[in-house]
Structure 1
Amino acid sequence: MDEIQTMTARKNRRLDGRICVVTGVVGVLGEGVAHRFAEEGGVVVGIDRKAHAIGSLALQADLADEEQVRAAYERVHRDLGRVDVIYNNAGLVDSEDHSALDTSYETWQRVFAANLTTTWLSCKHGIPFMLRNDPAKGSVINTASFLAGMGAASAQMAFNAAKAGVEQLSRDLGVHLARRGVRVNALALGPIETPQLKQAFDRIDPEEVSRRFIHMPMGRFGTVQELAATAAYLASDDAGFVTASTFPINGGIPGAFTVATA
C-alpha cells in the first residue's frame, strides 16, 4: 500500500477503537449513523426501546426512564471500559402535536419526554464516563431540528420547543465542559429522505409538493449518508475545535424565503 492509500485508509478510520453509543438506533437515521461509525472503525453500541441487533453491543432500554438509561451506560462501561462518542438520535414526531393553543397536556409531555428528556438523560449518565477516560475526552452529538430556529405557522409546536431545548442544552454543556475534554454539539436537521418522509410527500398533491420544494434552495431532501458523514466528522478529532455549536444540515432552507425554479 503506497503512502496515499495509507493516508486515505487512516482518514477513513477516524473513530478506530472508539466506543460509540447511538441512542434511538432503530430506524433509518440511527442505523445509518451507527453503520458509518462502524465503517470508520468505531465499536458501536446501539440503544433503543425496541429489541434490535444493531452494534457490537445491542441494548434495549426506555430512553425516557432514568434508571434504564443509567443501567445502560453502566453496562457499556462495564463491558467495554469507556465511552468516547454519544449520538443522541431518539425522538418523536407526534400527529397530535399542533398549535400550543390546542395541543393536549398529555401530547406536550409525551413529545418533550421523547425529544428533550431522552437527550438530557443520555448526557447526564453518559458524559460522566467520558470524564473518566484517561485523559478525559469525548464527543456528544445531539439531534435537534432546523424548525427550532423558525416560527411555526401552525403545527408541531411541542416538537419545535423541545428541539430548541436540545440546542440550548447542547450549547450549555459544550461551554460547561469545554476545558474538561468533552465536546457537545447539536445537529439542526432539515428534511432527510427516509421511506416515511417519502411516503408522506407521496400523499401530498403534486402542486403542493412543488410549492414546498420552491422553499428548498437545493431542491431536494438530504440523504442519510450526508447526515452520517457529518456525525462522523463531529465525532472525530477533525472537529476538535468545534463545541457548543449547532451544526446545520438543512440545505439552506432557513436562509431562503423563496427560490425561483429554473
Structure 2
Amino acid sequence: MPRGRLSGKNAIITGAAGGIGLQTTILFLREGASVLMTDVSEPALAKGVATAKELAPHMTGKVETMKCDVSKETDVQAMVEHLDDWGGVDVMFNNAGIMHGQDDDAISTPEKIWDLTQSINVKGVWFGCKHAVLSLRKHKKQRGSIINTASVVALVGSATPQLAYTASKGAVLAMTRELAIVHAKEDFRFNSLCPAPLNTPLLQDWLGDDQAKRHRREVHFPGGRFGEAIELAQAVVFLASDEASFVNGTDFVVDGGMTKAYVTPEGPATQPPANLAR
C-alpha cells in the first residue's frame, strides 16, 4: 500500500465522536496516521470509533478512544500523555467546542452560558496547545502541527446573535496567531480552521425547528447550502501534513465563499453535490 500523507504521525482529535472530528479521524486513518479520538461522551466515542474502523478498513496506524473534558487541564494532560507510549504527539486537532442554545446577545446571554462557552472553546484550546507543545519538546520532535477549530463568525460576525460563541472563536484566532509566532523557530505550526456553518449535529441541534433562523443562515451561501463536515476534514488533512510545511498562523477559511458574497436572493439547495468525496 502506498504511504499516506500522514504515515507515521500520531494525532489527537478532540470532539472526535461526530461531525468534523469524526470525518477527520476517518481521513487521518486512511492517510496512515495513528489517532487518539477523544470526546466528553463515551457512548458517542464508542459509536464513532466503530464508524471510523468501518470506513477506514485498510488503515496502517491504530485508533484508540479516551474520554476527555477539555475544560479540565488534568483531562487534557492525561490525553496527551497517553501518546507517550506511541512516541508522542505529532498532530493536535483542538476541535471540541460548544454552541449553546441559550447563547444570544449581550443582554440575553446568561453569565453561566458565557463562562461555560469560554471554558470549553477557549480554555480547552489553550490546554490542548500547551500540552501538545510540551509533548513535542519532550519527544524532541523536529516539527509539529496544531490545528484549532475557530469559525468564520470570528471574522465577519453572526447574522443570528451568539455572542459567547463568536467571542470565543475570536479568542481562538488571536491565540493561534500568537502561538504560531512564538513557536515558529521550533517548527511547530499553529493554524486556525474557520468553517462556515456546517451540516453537523451541533448546528442542527442549535437551529432546531426554527426555520426563520435556518433561512437567515442558508441565504448567505452563494451555493445555497451549508458545508459538509468532510469538506473541512479534507482541509485539516492538508494542514496536518508536511505539504503545509510553510503554512503557519493562518485563519484557514473554508466557507463556500460565504464571507466574500452579498446575501443571495435564491432559495438554498437542499443536497450537497452527488460527487462529494466520503
Return the TM-score normalized by structure 1: 0.88
Q: Does 1:185 align with 2:176?
A: no
The equivalent residue for 1:60 is: 67
Q: State the partner residue of 1:40.
A: 31
Out of 106, 111, 124, the position equivalent to 2:117 is 111
Among 3, 21, 41, which residue is 1:30 paired with? 21
Q: Could you give the per-residue CA deviations for residues 148-178 of structure 1, whole angstroms, max 9, x where no partner exists? A: 1123455110100000000111101111111
What SS does structure 2 have at the residue aligned with 1:16?
coil
Q: Which amino acid aligns with 2:254?
A: I
Q: Which amino acid aligns with 1:231?
A: V
| Contact 2:10–2:88 under 8 Å retained in 1 | yes
8 Å CA contact 2:11–2:89 kept in 1: the answer is: yes
**1:56 positional shift:** 1.8
1:204-215 correspondence runs (5 A): 204-205=210-211, 212-215=217-220
Over the aligned positions, Cα root-mean-square deviation in angstroms equals: 2.2
Greater shift, 223-232 or 45-54, is seen at: 45-54
Question: Compared with structure 1, are the counterparts of its residues 242 and 221 closer, same or farther at alpha carbon in structure 2 (3 Å cutoff)?
Answer: same
Structure-2 separation of matches of 1:192 and 1:71: 30
Q: Distance in 1 between matches of 2:244 and 2:119?
A: 30
User: Equivalent residue of 1:145, what SS?
Assistant: coil
1:1-262 aligned at under 5 Å gives the runs 9-10=2-3, 13-51=4-42, 52-53=45-46, 54=49, 56-77=63-84, 79-152=85-158, 155-195=161-201, 197=203, 203-205=209-211, 212-261=217-266
Deviations 1:178-225 (A, max 9, x none): 1101000001111221255457668344x8755643321122111122
Which amino acid counterpart does residue 223 of structure 2 have in structure 1? M
CA deviation vs aligned residue, 1:80-134 (integer Å, no higher than 9, x gap): 1111001111100111111122222211100101111111111111221113344
Matched letter for residue 88 of structure 2: R
Is the 1:20–1:87 contact (alpha carbons within 8 Å) kept by the matching residues of 2?
Answer: yes
Instruction: Summarize the Cα distance change of 1:100–1:240 in structure 2 as closer, same or farther, 3 Å threshold.
Output: same
Task: Report if the CA contact (8 A) 2:100-2:206 is conserved.
Answer: no
Evaluate the alpha carbon distance shift between residue 66 and residue 212 of structure 1 in structure 2; reply closer, same or farther with a 3 A threshold: closer
